[in-house]
Amino acid sequence: MHNHHSNHSSSTVYVQGDATLISLSRAFSDASDLNSIDCLLRDLTNTFVNRRRGLPEAFFIPILRCYSRLRLPYHAVRLFDKMHSEFRCRPRVRSLNTTLNALISLSLFSHALTFHSRVSATFSIFPNLLTFNLLLKCLCRLSRPDEAVNFFRDFSHLHKSRFSPDVYSYATVMDALTKDGRVDEAVLLLDEMSVEGCQPTEVNFNVVICGLCNNGDVSGAGKIVRHMILKGCVPNQVTYNTIIHGLCSKGKVESAMDLIDCMVKKDCYPNNVTYGTIVDGLVKANRLNDVEQVVALMEQSENASPGLFVYSILISGLFRSGRFDDALRLWTLIIDEKGIKPNAVLYTNLIDGLCVAGKMEEVDKVLVRMKEEDGDCKPNVFTYSSVVRGYFKAKKPDKAIDTWKDMIAAGCKPNQISYSILITGLCETGRLRDGLMVFHQMLAKECVPDVIAYSSMIKGLCDAGRVVEGMRLFYDMSAHGKAKPDCITYNILFTGLCKAKELAGAMGLLGRMVDGGCDGDNCDPDEVTCNVFLSALGGGEKGNEFFDGLLVRLCKRGRGSGVAGIVPVMLQKKYVPIASTWEKVARVLCSNEKVQRNIKKCWGVMMGGNIS
Residues 485-523 have pLDDT tens digits of 899 999 999 999 999 999 999 999 999 998 876 545 568
pLDDT of residue 2 exceeding 70: no
Residue-wise pLDDT tens digits, 122-131: 998 999 999 9
Cα separation, 78 vs 61, whole angstroms: 13
Q: Which run of H or of E encompasses 23?
A: helix 18-30
Q: Residues 80-102: what's their mean pLDDT?
A: 95
Q: Which residues contact 512 (CB under 8 A, 6 or more apart)?
A: none
pLDDT for 326? 86
Amino acid identity for residue 355 in this structure: C
Secondary structure of 396-434 in the HEC alphabet?
CHHHHHHHHHHHHHCCCCCCHHHHHHHHHHHHHCCCHHH
Q: Residues 160-188: what's their mean pLDDT?
A: 92
Least confident stretch, 58-67, 164-173, 308-317, 511-520: 511-520
**C-alpha distances out from residue 287 to 82, 280, 321, 490, Å:** 64, 10, 10, 36
609 pLDDT band (50/70/90 cuts)?
A: very low
Q: Residues 590-611: what's their mean pLDDT?
A: 53
pLDDT for 14? 40
Q: Residues 171-192: what's their mean pLDDT?
A: 93
Cα separation, 585 vs 591, whole angstroms: 10
Residue-wise pLDDT tens digits, 289-315: 788 788 888 888 877 888 888 888 888
16 pLDDT band (50/70/90 cuts)?
A: very low
DSSP structure string for 173-218: HHHHHHHTT-HHHHHHHHHHHHHTT----HHHHHHHHHHHHHTT-H
Residue 197 vs residue 105, higher pLDDT? 105
**C-alpha distances out from residue 446 to 404, 434, 454, Å:** 19, 19, 15
Least confident stretch, 160-169, 236-245, 487-496, 503-512: 160-169
13 pLDDT band (50/70/90 cuts)?
A: very low
Closest alpha carbon to 243 in 278, 283, 199, 294:
278
Least confident stretch, 24-28, 317-321, 361-365, 479-483: 479-483
pLDDT for 273? 87
11 pLDDT band (50/70/90 cuts)?
A: very low
Specify burial of residue 433 (Cβ count, 10 A radius: 0-12, 13-18, 19+).
Answer: exposed
Specify burial of residue 588 (Cβ count, 10 A radius: 0-12, 13-18, 19+).
Answer: buried
Closest alpha carbon to 54 in 15, 16, 86:
86
Residue-wise pLDDT tens digits, 70-88: 999 999 999 999 999 999 8
| Residues 313/276, Cβ–Cβ less than 8 Å | yes
Cα separation, 86 vs 43, whole angstroms: 12
Domain 307-411 adopts which CATH fold? 1.25.40
Q: Which residues contact 51 (CB under 8 A, 6 or more apart)?
A: none
**C-alpha distances out from residue 118 to 74, 101, 106, 311, Å:** 15, 16, 20, 52
Radius of gyration, alpha carbons of the chain: 31
Q: What share of the chain is helix, strand, coil (3-state, %, to 5)?
A: 75, 0, 25
Least confident stretch, 199-203, 360-364, 479-483, 534-538: 479-483
Amino acid identity for residue 500 in this structure: A
Cα separation, 550 vs 569, whole angstroms: 12
Residue-wise pLDDT tens digits, 538-569: 878 898 899 999 999 988 888 888 888 888 98
pLDDT of residue 109 exceeding 80: yes
Mean pLDDT of the chain: 87
Least confident stretch, 92-96, 109-113, 333-337: 333-337
Q: Residues 439-458: what's their mean pLDDT?
A: 92
pLDDT of residue 119 exceeding 90: yes
110 pLDDT band (50/70/90 cuts)?
A: very high
What share of the chain in percent tops pLDDT 70?
92
pLDDT for 604? 55
Q: Residues 422-441: what's their mean pLDDT?
A: 95
pLDDT for 601? 57
pLDDT for 591? 64
Q: Residues 372-386: what's their mean pLDDT?
A: 88
pLDDT for 560? 83
187 pLDDT band (50/70/90 cuts)?
A: very high
For the chain, the structural domain boundaries read: 1-125, 307-411
pLDDT of residue 15 exceeding 60: no
Closest alpha carbon to 61 in 98, 23, 113, 86:
98
Please list the alpha-helical segments (H only) found in 341-393: 344-356, 360-372, 381-393
pLDDT of residue 246 exceeding 50: yes
Closest alpha carbon to 593 in 552, 560, 544, 566:
560
Could you count the other beta carbons within 10 Å of the beta carbon of residue 374?
7
The most distant pair of C-alpha atoms in the chain lies apart, rounded to whole Å, by 103
| Residues 69/30, Cβ–Cβ less than 8 Å | no
Residue-wise pLDDT tens digits, 130-156: 999 999 999 999 999 999 999 999 887
DSSP structure string for 595-606: HHHHHHHHHHHH
pLDDT for 262? 87
Q: Residues 531-541: what's their mean pLDDT?
A: 89
318 pLDDT band (50/70/90 cuts)?
A: confident
pLDDT of residue 21 exceeding 50: yes
Q: Which residues contact 153 (CB under 8 A, 6 or more apart)?
A: none
pLDDT for 481? 61
pLDDT for 1? 43
Amino acid identity for residue 442 in this structure: M
Cα separation, 109 vs 111, whole angstroms: 5
pLDDT of residue 600 exceeding 60: no
